[in-house]
Structure formats: C-alpha cells, structure tokens
Structure 1
Amino acid sequence: MRKQGSWMRRLAGQVALGACLAATAATVPARAAGGHYGGTLKLVASSAAGTLDPQVNYTLRYWQIFPMLYDGLVSFERAGGTAAFHIVPDLATAMPKISDGGKTYVFTLRKGVKFSNGAPVTLTDVRASFIRLFKVLNPNAGTWYDVIVGGRHCASAPTTCTLPGVVIDQAKDTVTFHLRHPDAEFLDQLAVPFGAILPASTPDKDMGTIPIPGTGAYMISKYDPSSKLVMVRNPYFHQWSRLAQPKGYPDRIVYRFGLTPNAQVTAVANDQYDWMYNPIPLDRLGEVATKYKSRLYLHSLLALWYATMNTRMKPFDNKDARLAVNYAIDRADLVKLFGGPAVATATCEILPPGMPGYKPFCPFTEHPGTTWTAPDMKKAMAYMKKSGMAGQKVTIITQNSDPSRAIGIYLQSVLDRLGFKAKVKGISSNIQFTYIQNSNNHVQMAVTTWYQDYPAPSDFLNVLLSCKSFHPGSDNSINISEFCDKSIDTEMAVAETMSIAHPKKADVMWTKIDREMTDQAPVAPLFTPKHVDFVSSRLHHFVFSGQTYFIPDLAWIK
C-alpha cells in the first residue's frame, strides 16, 4: 500500500504540473518598470558548484551568475527567450571588423571600464586573458581557442604559451585575433564566461575559492562552499550597455548552500528564499503545482541527461557491453523519476530537439525508429553475452542528491540484471562534475548532464566526445567517456567549416555525425529535460534566458 500511495502522489504531481504550467511558461519581457532597485535576492541550492574561476568552472550553476560578474569583448544579450542568443558588443565598442575571409577579427576596446578592484581594463589584460585560458588548462582550450594562431602550440605546451595570434595596438585601442581558418562559432566562444577579460595579474592557476576581480555590475564579497556565496554591487561599475551588462535590480544577491531539495521547496514556499536551483522533489510536485501555480515557470531546454561509460577501461572498453546497457534501459522509468512527461522526454541520441542538425533517431528500443518505445532486453542480453563482461564490477558515480542518485540506483538495477556487479557512489555536487572528468579517478560510469554553451551541434558532439576534449589526469576533461574516433573528428571539422557558408549542408552532416556517435555508444542518452523554476511571492519580473536560464540580476524584490 505504501508503494501504491507513493505512485499515486507522484502521478498526481505529474498531472497537476503538466496541467498548470502551460499558462505560466511565458517569459516576462526583459525590461521592467523603473523604481525597483534595491533589496536582497536570496537563492538556494543543495551545494556549491566548485571553483569561482570563470576560465575553469564549467557548470550551469555558476555560468548562470558569471555574466553578472564578468564581461568579454562580446556577450550574449541579457534578455529573455531566444533574444538571449544574440551576441552584442560588451567590453568592445562595437562588433568586430572581420576580414581575410573570416580569419581576422579586430575589436576596439571600450574606454573607462574598471575592474572591481579599481584598476582600469587595458589591452594587456585582454591579451593575457586569452593566454591564461591555455595556462589554466581551460576545458575547451584545445577544441575552441586553438583556432587562434599559436593556439595549437599553447594547447600542447601551455607553460610556454605566447599566443601570437592575439595582437594589441595601444595607439588604436584595438586587439586583433588571427585565426588559422574561419570559424562560424568564434564569437559564441568569446561571449561565454570562458571569454571573460580578467586582470593580467591574475595567477595562471585555478583560483578556487578566491574571487577574481571582474567588470560586471556585481562582485563576490564572500564565498564559503559549505554555506554561501554573497554578491554585492561593484563600486566601480557604470552601465555602458543595458543589453550586455545591465545595472541589475537587487543591491545584494545571496546564494545559500546546504539545504535539501525538499527543504528548498518549503523555504521558497514560505518566502525565506526567492528561487531554488535543484529540481522539485517528486513527492512535492502536486503540492507546488496546485498551491503555487502563479509562482512556477516551465521552459524547454537544449539539454541532455546521460550516463557516461569509460571507453578505455573495463567493462565499457567493450562496445558490445555499452550497447547492452543502452538497449536495457527503460527510459520511461527515468522520465518518471525526473518528474514525468511534462518535464522530460526519453531520448536515444546525443543532440537534443531544437538543436540544428537534430532529427529524431532511436536505435536502442524495441521498435527502432524515430522515438523510444520500450527496452529490448532480448537484444541487450545478446550483446551482453557477446561482450563476455558478465561478472565485471561497475561503480556508478552520481551526485549525492536526487534525481541524480535515484537515476544511479535505477541504472544499478539495470546493470545487475545484465550480469554486472554494480554499486552506486554518491558524492557532493560541489565536486562530482570535476571528479568524473579526471581520468586518474578511474570512473567507469557516471550520471551527468549537458546544457548548451550556445546553440550549435558541435557544442554537444565535438565538446563532449572529440579526441581533443579528453585531457588525461585533468579535472577539466569534458570528454568523460574518454572516447576518441579520429574519423568522426575529421567529419566534425569539415561540418564546422561548412557551417560558415553552407549551414543547411552542415546540418545534414551533423545529423549523420550524431547517428554515427550514437551508434558507437560512448554514452547512454537518457532524456531531455524541461526546466521548472519555483520562486517566492517576493520575486517579480522573472526573466528566463535561452542561454543562461533564470537571470537573477533582472529580478526585483517586493
């Protein structure tokens, strides 16, 4: 009876959530009426998300706040909806002058901007920031920024990096980037937090809990990963571009860590906090969806939940073992664990719906075609027998909170049924993402997520699974499966170049690459999520960006 009651409460929550959120899914326009400056915005999450270094941290949680703290030469517009994908001038006075067939970008640096320590932003800071990307072993230094002349040498020998492709001219206030070849995504890569301009004096190492001075409207006054992060107004900030770096409404933003998702729901419902990061627990969905309908927001995402499988160690160095796992997973059960069809859709492929190049494709199902229908245990067991991996021990690394841990426990049951001897190890989300990236930790399988850096298929396929994305022994190795197929890498390079002049032809190539990568099964795609935001009654002017999701600095507190 307890099991049935739990199921009925879960189902009621899913139905209520799906029924009520359609009316609340619209995004409020990015510009609110004046007179709402001031107050303290209170955010809450189960844990911190690691380093404060914007050139190292690669988590959604901090990419959501870094745009308030730092600026690049260009930035994504601080706006709601798809307008958030627009790239606008930021520390540069205008969009760059592009010449030499797309291989030369010239920016003019804006005058009068200061870091939060009072030092003026100079061209020397700009050049040093891009050299530092390589010296701190930025996760994408070898897949994005190596397109800059000298970048390949910097990626292979970061300590001797000089990056001759970045040239500054003090007399003209310009910085010029020389690329090895045209790159359709170069401006996107400058606009994300990795492209932040930092003081040239910043040490060439991960700064961890020490805040680096920035140019944004806010600065960090306190960071204790065990308790909270506090952001206050940058005293040297003046608004030079409302689109790139608005003044922001709250005077203070406090991010509290340590509350369970269940406690977060209660705290937001009671207006103790204004927004929660973690997903609403299943047994609270019905209550929240019915009692707080006007305080819920639902949005589609370019995102993926997936399970990594280490292709360089047993048992998943065997492709048949990886295929067995993919065929055995009941993705409908995982959708239920996440909250139901209102907030998640089963998937078999790496590219999410809405991404250029996406076409529905599912081989890992009882009836292969465009959608997942049911697990195929007969085929799964056949692949398992062929692999010869029965009896192998597998540890699944998850975050120590749900839904990540619940998904890990489910996958444990799947692996046990296949004949593996599986167990789940949950660790704090403050360190889990970096832990599973480091090959020295010998992670066989892990539950993780990917949310787009910008809307391009390469941001999933190339970033997550290219040979260049694997960095042995590094916490910044985003290719967690350690997968490498040089022939697919060559295809991706061709597709990226083709996208400049022939984007539709490139999309066809990305569709093919997505299928080839899916067939290799370096990961088990699970589902694509939607995002549910629950806010307090104090929070007004909720703005959801397609790029960074909830924008805290555009909210005002009443």
Structure 2
Amino acid sequence: MATASLARAEAESPRVMVTLFRPTLLLTPEIPAPRPMSRVLPGQVRRLDPESGRVGEAVEVGSAPAGIAVGKDTVWVANSLARGPIPVGAGPQSVAVGEDAVWVANGLSLTVSRIDVRTGVVTSHQVGDGPRTVVAGPDGVWVSNEYDATVVRLDPRTARPVRTIRTGASPRGLALAGTTVWAAARAFASPDHRGGTLTVLGWGGAAEYGTDPATVYESEAGLAISVVYDHLVGLRQVPGGSDLTLVPDLATELPRPTDGGRTYTFTLRRGIRYSDGRIVRPADFRRGVQRALTAGGGNPMFFTGIVGGAACLDHPGHCDLSRGITTDDTTSTVTFRLTAPDPDFLGKLTLLVVPTPPGTPTRKLGDHRIPATGPYRIGEYRKGERLTLVRNPHFRQWSYAAQPAGYPDVIRWTSVATAGEQVAEVIAGRADLAVHLNTHPGRLDLRRLALRYPSRLHMDPSFFMVYEVFNTRMPPFDDKRVRQALSYAVDRKRLVTLMGGPELASGSCQSLPPGFPGYRPYCPYTRSPSSDGSWSGPDLARARKLIEASGTAGAEVGVWTWTVEWSRRVADYFVDLLDELGYRATLHVVPEDTYWTTVADSDTGAQLMVNGWFPDYPSSATYFTPNVTCDGFRPGDGSNSVNFPEYCSPALDRLIASALAAQGRDPGEARRLWARVDRTVVDEAVQLPVANVRQVAFTSARLGNYQTTPGFGPLVSQMWVR
C-alpha cells in the first residue's frame, strides 16, 4: 500500500533546479498587470491578483507548460512540448530561480540544467533517475529524484552534484525553510512483488509475427518485444506523464537537429550490454537501420530520408549508409544525415531500429535472434503458439521512464482461439491477463463480466482507429462521388454495435482520434450536419443521388477483411450495404498473417478494405503519412506499400509538409494545420472511419498493479503476480 511521508535533510547550502521534456525553456517577459478575465487556458500563463481575485491577460508559453518560477523581474516557464529560446534537457517539469542562475530539473534526460542569467550559458549534469522538483536557496540547490529514492545537492556555481541523500522512498516535492530541506515522498512497490510467471493471453499477434524487431509492425507483437529491445528514442513505458511524449532511451538526450533540420547527433549511454554480454557500440545502430530498410516487412519508408536509405530500399543487396550514418566510439555518438528536414524523425526511431551486433544476418534472421538490451530476452518462440520471455541477466535500469525493470521473472504470451476461452482461462487461474479482448475473434458479454468481476475488467481509452479504406484508383471508388455516397449511407451507430457496443467503441467521422493534436469534431456525411461535428444519422437519399450521378450502379465490388471476428462483422455489413445501394458485392476473407501484404499489393486489386491503425509514435502525422501520401504507394510491392487507398494528391502532401514543419516552431499552428489535413482527408473520402476503439483487458485474482496508457497499451512488465 502506498503511503505518504516527509523526509528532512539539513541543508549545507540549498539551491534550485528544473525539469523540462523537449529541450526548451520559455522566458516570459513582464507578466501584464491584472485585468478581470475569466479563465486560464492550456498553454497560457496569467497573473492572479490575490486581493481582488482578478485574472491578468494571457501570455502564450507553448502547448505543455510544466513548471514556473518567479525571479526579481522575470517569470520563467518550463515547457515539455514546445521549443523556446533556451534549450535545456528532456522532460522539464520544475524551475527554480537563484541569485545568479535559473535551475531546471529535466525528468527524462535525468539531468539538471543551470542557466546563467547574465550570459545565457546552459550547463547540465546528470543527477539521478527521474529529477522531479528543484529548489534554490542562498547556499545551495537541491533536486529530488523520484525513481532512485535520492535527494541531491548541487554546487550553485557549476551545477555538479556534491552530495546525495538516500530517502528510502520516492521523493516528489521539495521545500526550503532556512537551511533545512523538506522532501515529500511516496513509498515504492515492495521488492517482494518480484518473481513468478505472468501468463498473457492474446489473439495471436505476439506468437504469429516473429521476433525480429526490424520487421515486427503489429501492435500485440510490438508490445510483447518492447521489453526485449530498446531504441535510441522511446515511448514512456510508465504512467504519470503525457502519452504524446518521447523519452531518451539508449540515447542520453533528445538531440536538437542542426544543418537546417537535416542532421541529428545522439550520444549513447555508456556501459549498456546485450543479453550475451557484449557492449552496445555506436556502429550497431547503422546495422540496425540497414536491417529496417532491407529485412522485408516493418515500415522501411520511415528511413528512406536518411542519405542512402532510398537506394537501400530499391537495391537491398547493395545497401550503403556510410554517408547517412556516421559513428564514433570515442565520443560514443551516432550521427544521422537526412536528405531533407523531417520533424518526425525522432518519433520514427521509436520503431524497428534497434542496436544490432556484428554477425547478425542482414535479411531474414532464420533461427538467429538479436540479443536483448531490455529487462527480458527471448527464451522460446513457437510460431502460432507462444512467446516466452525470461530475465536478461545483463540488464540494469538506466531510465525508469524509458525501460523500467520488470516484476515477473517470466512473461509467457500464448494464443487462444476466442475471447470467451481467454476469459475462462483467466477465471480458472491458468492465466493472468487477457489483452485486446475487443479485437479478439468471438463476441464477449462485457456487461455481465463487469457485474461479476468489476475490479478485474479494465476498459481504457486508446488511440486505436478502425477504417474502411477505398481503393481510389479502381472503379467504382476512383469516383469521389461513390466514396462520398458510401460515407453518407453508412449507419455509424450500427457500426459501433458491430464493434462491441458503446462500452468498447465510439463512432467517428474522421481519421484522428479524440485527444490527438489537431482533432476537431467534424462530420459532413450525416443527415443533418451541425457545427459541433456530431453524426445524426445516415442519409440514404443523398447517397443514392450521388451513385446515380456517377453511373456506377451494378458494378462489382470486392470487400476485403481478415479472420478477426469484429473485422468480419464490419465487412459483412458493408457487403450488405453495397448490395442495398445497387452494387454486386463479394466478401474476401484472408488469413491475418498475410492480409496486410495482400491488400497492400496493387496487383491484388482490392477495392474496399478493413484497416485498423494504432499510432506508430506520438505525432498526428502517423495517421496520414505515409498512409495517404504519394510516397507511401509502391505499385506491386505489398511488403513496403502502406498507402492502401493508393491515393496521391500533391496538394495534400504540401499541406502535410506544412503541418510537419510547424511542429517544431509553433505547436499551436501545427494543431490548426493537422485539423485542416484531417478535414481534407474526410472531404476527399479517402477512407471511411468506422470507430475509435477502447482497449479491454481481464485480469486474474492474483495479478496486481495493472497499468496501461492510451499510447502504449498494457504495461505488462510492471504488473506482478501474487
């Protein structure tokens, strides 16, 4: 049970620090005098008059302010998602002002930055795992590290740590009273929770898609091996922070690009070992990129912007990345050079590219396995049956947010045929966790399950979207009127029911899910469009008029899906709807492990396809590029083409490029541009959004510490078995 506590430490000389996430500190000049105004909106700072209660004018400080401090005549704001005039470390969340310096605690880069207020020079030093709060006093600066149970005193002149106090608990807040530092702390989970075997039941992804990190591009399989392999940059693997945040993983910091956005230089953490004992070297990342481009599978389009990357994709047997990726063992750095600026390059590095030691096959791994860097390694893999993970004896936790040590000794992923069987196995005590029940073959009576096991059924938000994708190059969907007709005719309430009901899914008319940057409710394809973007019902009359005008009635239409039952139910519905609208529809059901490459191959001629999409990384771009951009379509190449609609609009590509460029300089403008991109895709009816789907899991009586995030899914390694 978590408890709150206070720890007291005598301060030999207190001082301050701050925490930022994306290298940035925003300097806010002269907060205006107070005026009667109503509220403080996200991304703003306002001055509050304590006597009158009036609220001053808003000062824009970026999209994610995380800490604020007031100096003699300046207010300082740390921002975790916006670029400001003073770059600090990753994950800033606390700021303090001293006599001649401002201090920032950088929670994700594990550093504290000292900003000299006279010169603007920034110096940073590592202080521990999870710097959270920084305070500055007349004789010293103190920072709390929430993940390694320490409070550290810094030299106010150099920012170097000079004293570490172990608290025995997780220190969060700090306060100075004269020469005394007070720390508020929370208890850590008991070490007694370590051990045992955690059995996870899935629909088959973890056991079906292999274990090659360069080719695994499916959500369940990716979730399973996320505790085995690491990237230069990762997603936050613990709750408590923004799900739209990148964290340094095997790199010490999130670098700022140079050379006009075309060069990124990473410094590696030193001393990281593979599970076979070898040291991770900078050159191993060039080898990892080469495999991501040439191994066949995954999404190699992410890395064709690296100098030499496009040639590797076209000629995998002659892949040369020596100009695009340079490494230096002495400085422990990896430098990427791009052919053009790519504001999402850091996000793309959270997938597919892992350090790969010498001797690893360039293409198919066969029986070879890449050694692990995470807390687990692959113990056994039987395709279609199970994946077993065991502890990596050489793992040491370097960043709790990026890759925390796991609780179970063994994690076993097993495939089970239906959701009902999954639940029965968990109830019987033969398994501990059933995941992705909403995407599993077979319907499940969740309401009954919730009544009987209210604390063990978990239904949580996610960013998973389901679409019906039109092939915009094949009749009848090469005519926009036909695509719009189907969008008007569809009964979105019925689709939600087919997806499992409102407990599991919510209807949507657009590509972006709620909560993502740029999401603005918009639904023109409805009986009575309104300004609030809500759907009011199908408009069959308008749909029939559009079809009549197109002259396509009577055409044959193939509807493609795979074997997951919800996908089959949705596809059956569209077959019936197309028949009702005057077409001759046929259902094509393809095994799940070959479905994606089949429908992505333009030679297949798939016309209407079910597609489920989970964001690859925390950027709105992942819902559009390369899914609907010209470079995402590769004719006759099902392994490397992800633009299923085969859609190409140079105007849309330019709008997407503008939104990407704005992400670095003006997040507010970027959100507005992504909203325009979303509306354009809706207006062009490139795809028909079906629903935003929640994640559903069921746990055993002996499983504890269930955790999940919308952007990552169940945090399996952080659960324990009693």
TM-score, reference length from structure 2: 0.69
The equivalent of 1:345 in structure 2 is 506
Deviation (angstroms), 1:420: 1.8
Question: 3-state DSSP class of the match of 2:280?
Answer: coil
Q: Distance between the aligned counterparts of 1:357 and 1:517, measured in 2?
A: 13
Amino acid at match of 2:414: R
Q: 1:325 aligns with which of 453, 472, 486?
A: 486
Deviation sequence 1:16-51 (CA, Å, 0-9, x none):
xxxxxxxxxxxxx99633221111111112323423
> 1:165 matched to which residue of 2?
324
Please give the secondary structure, in 2, of the residue aligned with 1:293: coil
Point out the structure with the larger helix share: 1
Equivalent residue, structure 2, for 1:446: 609
CA contact (8 A) 1:47 1:428 kept: no
Per the alignment, residue 270 of structure 1 pairs with 428
1:531 alignment partner, SS class: strand
Residue 23 of structure 1 corresponds to which residue in structure 2?
Answer: none
Distance 2:569 2:366 in 1: 29
Contact 1:81 1:544 in 2 (8 A): no
Deviation at 1:360, TM superposition (A): 0.9
Aligned match of 1:237: 395
Aligned equivalent of 1:150: 308
Provide the rounded CA distance (Å) in 2 between the counterparts of 1:209 and 1:433.
Answer: 24
Does structure 2 conserve the Cα–Cα contact (< 8 Å) formed by 1:129 and 1:200? no
Selected match of 1:293 from 454, 460, 470: 454
TM superposition shift of 1:467: 1.2
SS for the counterpart of 1:505 is helix
Equivalents in 2 of 1:421, 1:469: separation in Å? 30
The answer on 1:394 being equivalent to 2:553 is no
**Does the C-alpha gap of structure 1 residues 509 and 295 become closer, same or farther in structure 2, counting only changes over 3 Å?**
same
Q: Is the 8 A contact 2:239 2:709 kept in 1?
A: yes
2:690 corresponds to which letter in structure 1?
L
**Is the Cα–Cα contact under 8 Å of residues 297 and 639 in structure 2 kept in the other structure?**
no
CA–CA distance in 1 between the matches of 2:663 and 2:187? Answer: 31
Written as runs of structure 1 = structure 2, the 5 A alignment for 1:125-524 is 125-137=284-296, 139-142=298-301, 144-163=302-321, 164-190=323-349, 192-207=350-365, 211-279=369-437, 282-369=443-530, 370-472=533-635, 473-524=637-688
Provide the secondary structure at the position in 2 that maps to 1:125: helix
CA deviation map 1:86-124 (0-9, x unaligned): 333322234436444543322222333222333332122
Q: Which has more radius of gyration?
A: 2
TM-fit CA distance, 1:82: 4.0
Moved more, 262-271 or 59-68: 262-271
8 Å contact kept, 1:55–1:133: yes
Distance 1:510 1:83, change over 3 A: closer
CA-to-aligned-CA distance 1:274-307 (integer Å, 9 cap, x gap): 2223425555212211001101222222221111
Q: Which has the higher contact order (CA 8 A, sep 6+)?
A: 1
**1:536 equivalenced with 2:536 (yes/no):** no
Q: Deviations over 1:249-293 (max 9, x none)?
A: 111111111421121122223222222234255552122110011
Name the CA distance, whole Å, in 1 between partners of 2:661 and 2:373: 33
Partner of residue 40 from structure 1, selected from 197, 222, 245 = 197
Structure with bigger strand share is 2
Structure 1 Cα separation of the partners of residues 267 and 620 of structure 2: 30
Q: TM-score, normalised by structure 1?
A: 0.88
Compute the RMSD of aligned alpha carbons: 2.4
Task: Give ranges in structure 2 of 5+ residues lacking alignment.
Answer: 1-185
- Whole-angstrom CA distance in 2 between matches of 1:161 and 1:98: 25
Contact 2:284 2:356 in 1 (8 A): yes
Partner-residue secondary structure (3-state), 1:301: strand
- How far is 1:544 from its partner? 0.5
Q: Please say which of residues 115-124 and 509-518 is displaced more in the overlay.
A: 115-124
5+ unaligned residues in a row in structure 1: which ranges? 1-28
Q: Distance in 2 between matches of 1:165 and 1:244?
A: 26
What secondary structure, in the 3-state scheme, does the structure 2 residue paired with 1:439 have?
coil
Q: What is the one-letter code of the residue matched to 1:199?
A: P
Aligned-residue offset at 1:55: 1.9
1:107 aligns with 2:271: no
Aligned residue type for 1:136: A
Q: 1:39 & 1:502 partners in 2: Cα distance? A: 48
Name segments (4+ residues, structure 1) moved above 6 Å.
none
Report the Cα offset of residue 139 of structure 1. 4.9
Taking the aligned partners of 1:421 and 1:288, their CA distance within structure 2 comes to: 40
CA distance in 2, matches of 1:258, 1:86: 33
Partner of 1:11: none
Q: Does the 8 Å CA contact 2:436/2:696 hold for their aligned counterparts?
A: no
Letter in 2 for 1:386: A
Matched, 1:122 2:286: no
Q: CA 1:91–1:410 in 2, change beyond 3 Å: closer, same or farther?
A: same
CA drift at 1:137: 5.0
1:405 CA drift (Å):
1.1
What displacement does 1:130 show? 1.6
Matches of 1:490 and 1:443, distance apart in 2: 28
The answer to whether 1:96 aligns with 2:259 is no
What's the offset of the Cα at 1:156?
4.5
Farther off after superposition, 547-556 or 98-107: 98-107
**Contact 2:467/2:690 (<8 A) preserved:** yes
Kindly provide the amino acid, as one letter, of the partner of residue 411 in structure 1. Answer: F
Shift in CA distance, 39/379, structure 1 to aligned 2, threshold 3 Å: same
Partner of 1:53: 212
Contact 1:348–1:526 at 8 Å: present in 2 too?
A: yes
| Structure 1 letter corresponding to 2:708 | F
Q: Count how many residue pairs are aligned between Structure 1 and Structure 2.
A: 528
- Higher alpha-carbon deviation: 408-417 or 441-450: 441-450
Sequence identity (%): 35
2:75 alignment partner in structure 1: none
- TM-aligned CA deviation for residue 138 of structure 1: 5.5
1:384-434 per-residue CA deviation (whole Å, 9 max, x = no partner) reads: 222333222323222323211111111111111112222323333333334
Contact between 1:348 and 1:362, CA under 8 Å: does it hold in 2? yes
Q: Does 1:552 align with 2:716?
A: yes
Matching residue of 1:13? none
